[in-house]
Amino acid sequence: MTTLDSPQHINLDDTTFCPPAASCEVCGARSFLTCVIVESPPGVLCVTECPQCRACHRMPAWSGPDCATRAGEHCAHLGITRSEMTLARAREGLTDRPFRLPA
């Protein structure tokens, strides 16, 4: 399945097919987890966070290559290629997605 609403629109914020981790990827909490979308230099990626980390806009301490891997995994969840993500990001321009660097 793909998140293509039309040939011109890819919803990069869709987390329908993003599997949540068993614990918060920032602090390790195990309750009230949500899969959220964040913008990183290599691309849009999904992160499982607890309410406290989400409210503080925390992100796991991942390296650039780790973020690139996670952006590729989010592409797989969406059923798109990295090239399609790049084009979708270019079409969107600036977004209201939080841009976070590792703490």
Q: How confident is the model over 4-14, as pLDDT tens digits?
A: 444 468 999 99
- Domain spans, the chain: 4-92
Q: Residue 3 above 90 pLDDT? A: no
Nearest Cα residue to 100 out of 44, 56, 59: 59
- Say which residue the tokens 């991942």 belong to: 62
Whether the pTM exceeds 0.75: the reply is yes
Q: Is the pLDDT of residue 71 over 70?
A: yes
- Looking at per-residue pLDDT, the higher value among 73 and 103 belongs to 73
Residue type, 43: G
Percentage above 70 pLDDT, the chain: 83
Residues 19-47 have pLDDT tens digits of 999 999 999 999 999 999 998 889 999 99
Orientation of helix 82-92 relative to helix 64-78, angle to 10°: 90
Q: How far is 49 from 63, CA to CA, in rounded Å?
A: 18
Res. 69: pLDDT tops 50: yes
Contact yes or no for 62/71 (Cβ under 8 A): no
